[in-house]
Structure formats: C-alpha cells, structure tokens
Amino acid sequence: MAGKRAPKKETSAAAGTGARDIGIDVPLPTTSCTDPKCPFHGRLSVRGQTLEGIVVSTKMQNTVVIEREYLRFIQKYERFEKRTRRLNVHAPPCLGLQVGHHVLAMECRPLGKTVHFVAIHNQGVAG
C-alpha cells in the first residue's frame, strides 16, 4: 500500500484536550482552545529559536509583551551592564497568560507586523 499512512496515536494526556505534540519537550496545556494560531490546537508549526521572558503587558488581543534581560560587556570598564529587550508574542488562550508569568516562547512564521513568536509554555509566576 504505497502512499498510505497509519494515523498518529495520541497520548493519554493529549486525548482529553485534543492537543497535538509539537515536537518540543514541554507539557501539553490542560485546557483546550479554538485558536487557529495555537501550536497545540491549531495548525501553527514552530521552528528556530526558543526564548524565555516575563510577561509585562496583556493589553492586546491574543498577544502579550514579554521582556528579556541580558548582560552586555563594556570593554573599556571591564564590566557588564544590564539591558532589556521587549518582544511581542502570540498568546494562545489555552495557556492563560497574565502579567508576571514566566513564559517560554518559540519562533514561528510571521503572525503580524511585529509578532514572530508564539508562547508554548506558561511556567507560572516569576520568582
């Protein structure tokens, strides 16, 4: 039977919410959603970079702003300075992101003018 494939079997955790495995080692969301841009319940594929940050704004529809801190070395003074960068990230409703949550985001196709990442894991309140 050339060209025929057996259907993929869902794991027991994924069977309850209808979530699909995205190929990344993150837990599947416990709630389901109908967002077509959700990597677990929609058709969006993820690839490329994985970034971590803290949610600082949830004022947009299905999009959050995350902030990442990093250190930059200043050669003249032989010291590091702390810098921040903000990034717009698509937030599927099944993750339930709020301000202060620590988030794992992954690169995807462009979803808007400034949105090129999607949240894949809500790690809870940043401590």
User: What is the reported pLDDT for 17?
Assistant: 61
User: What is the reported pLDDT for 12?
Assistant: 47
State how far the Cα of 93 lies from the Cα of 88, in Å rounded to an integer.
16
Give me the amino acid identity at 58.
T
DSSP-derived letter for residue 103 is E
Given pLDDT bands bounded at 50, 70 and 90, which one contains residue 20?
confident
Taking only the tens place, the pLDDT of each residue in 25-81 is 888 888 888 989 999 998 889 999 999 999 999 999 999 999 999 999 999 999 999
Distances, alpha carbon 75 to alpha carbons 28, 49, 63, 67, 79, in Å: 44, 28, 37, 25, 7
Q: Which domains occur in the chain, in start order?
A: 28-125 (2.40.50.1000)
Other C-beta atoms closer than 10 Å to the C-beta of 99 total: 13
Given pLDDT bands bounded at 50, 70 and 90, which one contains residue 15?
low
State how far the Cα of 93 lies from the Cα of 105, in Å rounded to an integer.
14
The torsion angles phi and psi of 109, rounded to 5 degrees, stand at -65, 160
Given pLDDT bands bounded at 50, 70 and 90, which one contains residue 16?
low
User: What is the reported pLDDT for 8?
Assistant: 54
Taking only the tens place, the pLDDT of each residue in 76-120 is 999 999 999 999 999 999 999 999 999 999 999 999 999 999 999
